[in-house]
C-alpha cells in the first residue's frame, strides 16, 4: 500500500536515500562502486573512469544544493538558460583503484570567482587518497559566452556568502 | 569515534547500506541515477548505457548472494578459477530514459541450466518498464571451457534448490 | 602548399580515406582497433564495447550512403525532423576480442520493413566471427512516433529497390 | 586470392593503412570521428571523451614506434614486465567538439626524464585547437615501482638521442 511508504510526517521518504551522496560541512561526498566497465585489461581502473566519477560527484553536489531548479538558472532578462562546463582540470593519479572497491568522491569549493568556480575533488578508498583533481567550471549562456555567477548560485555553494 | 559506528551487535554497519541494491523475494533491485556520461546528443540515454547498468545489477546480485567469495569459485580438483561471461542477450528498448532520472535495474533468474543461467532483467522508472533484457551467462574455466554449475552456485541463486 | 593536396581532378582528397570504412556489395565494413577503453579487468574486451562498435558501423554506413544529408530526413509536409533509434537487438558472444586486436564490423541489411530496418552485424578478426548482432532500427519523428521509411531511405540502403 | 594482396615486395600490405594514424616529424597524428558514444545530452562532446582519444593517440604512437614489441619491455635482469601509466594530466577545454566531427589527436614528446615522459597532446578540428593536454607517464614494474627509462625507449621516442 502507498500509505506504508509514508513516514511520520505523512510524506513518502525517498526510496534510495543515499543515491546522491550526502552534503557535509566541507562540501559533498558520493560513494562509488568499481564495476567491470570502470576497469581495463591492466587489471586496474581505467584512467578516464576517475573523470566520470568526479562528474557524478559534481552533478550530485549541485543536485543536493538545489541548483538543478530551473528557476535558479533562468536569466532574469529573459536571455535564455545558462549551464556549467569544465574549462580546466589538473589531475594527479596517486594510487590505483581496483575492481569491486568501494570509493568516495569528495568535492569541495576551493575558489569562487566572478564567472568561475574552482572545485577540489578527491577519490578515496577509506583514508587513502587515490586521485586528486582541481576542476575549474564556468557558467555559459546558450551562445557559449561566459556569464557572471549570480547571487543564488554563490549562496548555494557557500551559505556564508 | 569509531565506537559510534558500531551497531547493537558490536559491528560497524556499512557506511552506504544501499550501494549494492537489495535482495528481494524475486531476485535483486539496484538503483541507478542517469548522469551526463549515460546520455548522448539526442538528449536521451545512449543505447549501450542500459547494458552497463544491467551488468552492474548482475554484479551486485552476485555480490549480495555471497558468490564473490573466492572459495565458491574454486575448483575442488585444483584446476584453477572459474568466472561468468555473457553468451547471449536479447534486448528490447521500449521507452527512453532521460538525464537525471532515478531508475531501477530488476534482476531475476528465469532458467537454471547445467552450465548456464538465464537472467531476466528490466530497467524501470517507477512502474514504467523502459528496457527488457534476457541474458544467458555461462561459467568458464581459465582455458575458456564451459563448466557445470556447482551446487553452491545453484543454491545461492535459488535457496529452494 | 594547399595545391599539393589536390588530386588529378583538382579536388583535395580526403585526408583519412578509410576513416568511415568502406561500402561493399554486401553492405559496409569498418575497421576497429581495440584500445584500453574497450577492455576490462578480465583481460578481454568488455561486453558492451561490441555494442558501441556496431553503432559506429551503422553510423558510418548511413554516412557513406549519403543519408546524413539533412534534406533526406526532412518531412515534406514540414512536420520536422526524423531519426533512427534501436528498438531491439539480439547479440551472440562467440569468441573474445583482445587488447590491440584489429577487428572489422560488417553491416548488412537483412530486412526492409515499412517502418523498420533489420540489420545483421558481425565483429570479425580476420575470418573469425567473434560477435553477431541482429539489430532492428525504427524511424521516429520529433514526437517519438514511428514513421514510414520514405523512398530515398529505401533506395539508399538497397539500390535495386 | 591471397596473392592479390601482396605488394611489389611480396608482402601483404596492411588492409587499413591509416588505422593507427601516422608518424610525423613532430610526433604522431591520429584521426578521430565523433560518434554518438562520445557526446552527451548537452549536444556537445562529453568531457571525458577527449581523455579516451588522447589515450588512443598515445597507444598508436607507441605502436608505430615499435614499442609494443615485448622484447623492448623485458627487463634484462629477468624481473618481469614493465608498463606505462599516467601520473598527472593538465587539461584545457578551449572549444567544443560536435557529433560527426573529424578531429585529429596530435601527440609530441615535450620532456624526457629519467623515469618519466611528458607528452603534449592536442585535439584539433582542422587548424582549430579544441583541447590541450600535458600528460606525464611513468614506467612501472609489476610491483608498481617506477623504473628508469631504458635506452631503447628513449631512442624510440627521440631518434636523435
- Selecting from C83, C90, C91 the residue whose C-beta is nearest the C-beta of B42 gives C83
- pLDDT digit string, tens, across residues C87-107: 999 999 999 999 999 999 999
| CA A83 – CA A94 distance, rounded (Å) | 31
> Cell 531548479 sits at which residue?
A69
| CA B136 – CA B113 distance, rounded (Å) | 10
Low-confidence residues in chain B, pLDDT < 70? 1-14, 68-80, 159-161
Q: What's the pTM?
A: 0.90
- pLDDT digit string, tens, across residues C10-47: 666 668 999 999 999 999 999 999 999 999 988 899 99
Walk across the sheet containing D116-125 and list its strands.
A22-24, A27-33, A102-112, A116-125, A128-141, A82-93, D82-93, D128-141, D116-125, D102-112, D27-33, D22-24
Interface partners of A (3+ CB pairs, < 8 Å)? B, C, D
| Residue A128 within a domain | yes
Cα separation values, C56 from A98, A143, B48, B60, Å:
30, 30, 12, 30
Residue C38 CB coordination number (10 Å) = 25
Task: Give Cβ neighbours of residue A105 (< 8 Å, ≥ 6 apart).
Answer: A21, A29, A30, A32, A53, A54, A56, A57, A121, A122, A123
Determine the residue among C91, C96, C141 to mutate to test chain B binding: the one whose Cβ has the most chain B Cβ atoms within 10 Å: C91
DSSP string, C56-120: HHHHHHHHHTTTT-HHHHB-TTS--BEEEEEEEEEEEE-S--BTT-EEEEEEEEEEE-SSEEEEE
Rounded to an integer, what is the distance from CA C150 to the centroid of its chain?
19
Tell me the chain D residues in contact with residue B41 when contact means C-beta distances shorter than 8 Å.
36, 39-44, 98-99
Specify the pLDDT at position A151. Answer: 84
Tell me the chain B residues in contact with residue C42 when contact means C-beta distances shorter than 8 Å.
83, 85
Specify the pLDDT at position C6. Answer: 54
Specify the pLDDT at position D25. Answer: 92
**Dihedral (CA of D157, D158, D159, D161) sign:** negative
DSSP string, A82-144: EEEEEEEEEEEE-S--BTT-EEEEEEEEEEE-SSEEEEEEEEEETTEEEEEEEEEEEEEETTS
Q: How many CB pairs below 8 Å do chains A and C form together?
A: 33
Residue D134 and residue A92 in contact, taking contact as beta carbons nearer than 8 Å: no
Specify the pLDDT at position D74. Answer: 55
Specify the pLDDT at position A73. Answer: 55
How many H-runs (helices) and E-runs (strands) does chain C carry? 3, 6
Residue B62 Cα, gap to closest chain A Cα (Å): 12
B132 beta partners: B92, B122
- Buried b / exposed e over D39-56, threshold 16 CB at 10 Å, is bbbbebbbbbbbbbbbbb
> Cell 547500506 sits at which residue?
B17
Residue C94 CB coordination number (10 Å) = 13
Q: How many CB pairs below 8 Å do chains A and B form together?
A: 47
Catalytic residues of D: 40
Tell me the chain B residues in contact with residue D36 when contact means C-beta distances shorter than 8 Å.
40-42, 46
| Residue B16 within a domain | no
- pLDDT digit string, tens, across residues C62-90: 999 987 654 455 555 555 677 889 999 99
Specify the pLDDT at position A140. Answer: 86
A46 touches chain C (CB under 8 A): yes
Residue B83 CB coordination number (10 Å) = 13
Instruction: Say if the Cβ atoms of B89 and C90 lie within 8 Å.
Output: yes
Specify the pLDDT at position A3. Answer: 42
For all residues of chain D together, what is the average pLDDT?
86
- pLDDT digit string, tens, across residues D81-130: 778 899 999 999 999 999 999 999 999 999 999 989 999 999 999 999 99
Residue C30 and residue C21 in contact, taking contact as beta carbons nearer than 8 Å: yes
> What is the residue range of A58's domain?
18-157
Instruction: Say if the Cβ atoms of A89 and D86 lie within 8 Å.
Output: no
Cα separation values, B156 from B69, B84, D39, Å:
12, 14, 40
* pLDDT band at residue A150 using 50, 70 and 90 as cut-offs: confident
Specify the pLDDT at position B13. Answer: 62
| Residue C1 within a domain | no
Instruction: Say if the Cβ atoms of B36 and D44 lie within 8 Å.
Output: no
Interface partners of B (3+ CB pairs, < 8 Å)? A, C, D
Catalytic residues of C: 40
CATH number, position C111: 3.10.129.10
- pLDDT digit string, tens, across residues A4-18: 455 555 666 668 989
* pLDDT band at residue D24 using 50, 70 and 90 as cut-offs: very high
Specify the pLDDT at position C76. Answer: 54
* pLDDT band at residue C3 using 50, 70 and 90 as cut-offs: very low
Backbone angles phi, psi at D105, to 5 degrees: -100, 115
Most confidently predicted of A38-42, C2-6, D1-5, D146-150 = A38-42
- State the total domains in chain A: 1
Residue B156 Cα, gap to closest chain C Cα (Å): 23
B44 beta partners: B98
Measured between CA atoms, the residue of chain A closest to residue D138 is: A93
* pLDDT band at residue A79 using 50, 70 and 90 as cut-offs: low
ipTM: 0.88
| Residue B31 within a domain | yes
Specify the pLDDT at position C101. Answer: 95
Higher pLDDT, A66 or A120: A120
Specify the pLDDT at position A135. Answer: 98
> Percent of chain D beyond pLDDT 90?
62
Instruction: Say if the Cβ atoms of C92 and B87 lie within 8 Å.
Output: yes
| Residue B141 within a domain | yes
Determine the residue among C21, C34, C59, C67 to mutate to test chain D binding: the one whose Cβ has the most chain D Cβ atoms within 10 Å: C59
Specify the pLDDT at position B6. Answer: 54
Report, as an integer, the average pLDDT of A137-150: 87
Is 60 exceeded by the pLDDT of residue C161? no
Higher pLDDT, B14 or D3: B14
Amino acid at each position: 500500500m502507498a500509505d506504508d511508504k509514508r513516514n511520520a510526517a505523512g510524506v513518502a521518504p525517498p526510496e534510495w536515500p543515499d543515491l546522491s551522496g550526502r552534503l557535509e560541512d566541507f562540501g559533498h561526498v558520493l560513494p562509488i562502486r568499481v564495476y567491470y566497465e570502470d576497469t581495463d585489461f591492466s587489471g586496474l581502473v581505467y584512467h578516464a573512469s576517475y573523470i566520470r566519477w568526479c562528474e557524478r560527484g559534481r552533478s550530485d553536489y549541485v543536485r543536493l544544493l538545489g541548483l538543478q531548479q530551473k528557476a535558479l538558472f533562468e536569466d532574469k532578462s529573459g536571455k535564455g538558460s545558462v549551464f556549467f562546463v569544465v574549462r580546466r582540470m589538473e589531475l594527479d593519479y596517486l594510487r590505483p583503484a581496483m575492481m569491486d572497491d568501494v570509493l568516495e568522491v569528495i568535492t569541495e569549493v576551493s575558489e569562487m570567482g566572478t564567472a568561475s568556480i574552482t572545485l577540489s575533488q578527491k577519490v578515496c578508498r577509506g583514508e587513502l587518497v587515490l586521485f586528486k583533481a582541481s576542476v575549474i567550471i564556468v557558467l555559459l549562456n546558450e551562445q557559449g559566452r561566459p556569464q557572471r555567477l549570480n547571487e543564488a548560485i554563490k549562496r548555494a555553494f557557500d551559505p556564508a556568502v
